[in-house]
Amino acid sequence: MDDDDDDDDEFLTEDEDDNSHSWQDYPSWFHFHANHWPKSVDFAIDDVRDLVQQSLVSYFDITPSLEMYRAVNSISTDVTTVRRSLLEAAESNALWSSDNFAAALSIFAFEDSAEAIWKLHSRGAHLLRSCDAPEYQHAVVALATKSALKPHSLTICQDQLLTIAREFRASLCLSFSRLYDSARVTELEALLKQRSVSRTSNIESWVTAVSTPGPNHPHPMAFAAAMMGLPIPVPVAGGELGVDDLNMFDLEKNKDPDLDDLREEFRPQFKDRFQGWLGATLAIGKQDKVFRAVFEELLTMMPFLRDSDIVDEMTSRYVALVFSRIAPRCRHHPRMRVPKDIRQAE
């Protein structure tokens, strides 16, 4: 009987101790206390939080990211000191790699620090890749929040739009290698003015004339990756391109997950990048001058863009050229699918 009384006393003592603390005694721990924890756990929360913070900061120093930056600030009890330390680390390590540089731009864009963004851009813009376009665009929009740097941000937008256009033109010349022959250019000028009934057949003849000779054409994604320095075998027009060469850049789902990072890093993403920079220009404002300059340069570089019928014919021919060679090999390949209209055409 006495043992039972002792047990009751012990239970009551724990319960009383559990209710003996108020949240006011530990104001800095309120945010980290789970409802199912006893109050006695609060004494260890500070130590655990400090250890977690130290671990996150050590990772941040090597591989910074906006997500980690926000996480560390959210658990810190000295936000001002920790924030200053993280920003210094992000800036000092930005030139270590492309990933670090893109992360630094994201962090300073989040903080609306236009001066820091401009300083970083002046030193390391060459580190940015196609996959870093979203971070780059957000940083340029943040750069424009300072009136003195707004003209620079618009210049960056214009340069990026023109760079994408030049990259696209270079990739297009793989399948249309005679696009800029003087004779073909003269024919195009006449074709743009023509309104006769025979115009459709003339367009088809012109596209055939500018197309790269030979039945075999490298895969456009493989060629774009080669332009960016990726060491893979890419044959010239008329060469042989096997299915194994295409697997790395297979755009279908259910692809090898080990190559996902490589695919995303070197994917040109012409459309997404171009639309993203258009959106960034609109967000900054005073975009008329930029759009006019880009539009005029596009028509100068690729005059066939003036006519939608020519563009449609080139597009259909481009798709046919790409798949005409790989279709026989890829029809039964488990990771390659040939569009239905191409199969029917064969």
* DSSP letter string, 66-126: HHHHHHHHHH-S-HHHHHHHHHHHHHHTGGG-HHHHHHHHHHHHHTT-HHHHHHHHHHHGG
**What pLDDT sits at residue 79?**
86
Give CA 329 to chain center in angstroms: 31
**What pLDDT sits at residue 249?**
41
Which residues, given as ranges, of the chain have pLDDT below 50? 7-29, 216, 229, 231-253, 322-346
CB 234 within 8 A of CB 226: yes
CB 129 within 8 A of CB 103: no
Owner of token pair 């104001």: 27
Q: What is the pLDDT of residues 10-37, one digit of tens each?
A: 444 444 444 444 444 444 445 566 677 6
**What pLDDT sits at residue 221?**
56
Q: Is 212 left (phi over 0), alpha (psi -120 to 50) or beta?
A: beta
**What pLDDT sits at residue 233?**
41
198/201 Cα distance (integer angstroms)? 6
**What pLDDT sits at residue 240?**
43
Taking CA atoms, 164 is separated from 133, 169, 306, in Å, by 11, 9, 18
| DSSP letter, residue 212 | P
**What pLDDT sits at residue 76?**
85
pTM: 0.69
3-state secondary structure of 250: coil
CB 100 within 8 A of CB 129: no
100/336 Cα distance (integer angstroms)? 35
Q: Is 211 left (phi over 0), alpha (psi -120 to 50) or beta?
A: beta
Cβ contacts of 30-35, under 8 Å, gap ≥ 24: 32/75
Helix (H) or strand (E) holding 109: helix 98-110
**What pLDDT sits at residue 93?**
93
**What pLDDT sits at residue 228?**
53
CB 119 within 8 A of CB 94: no
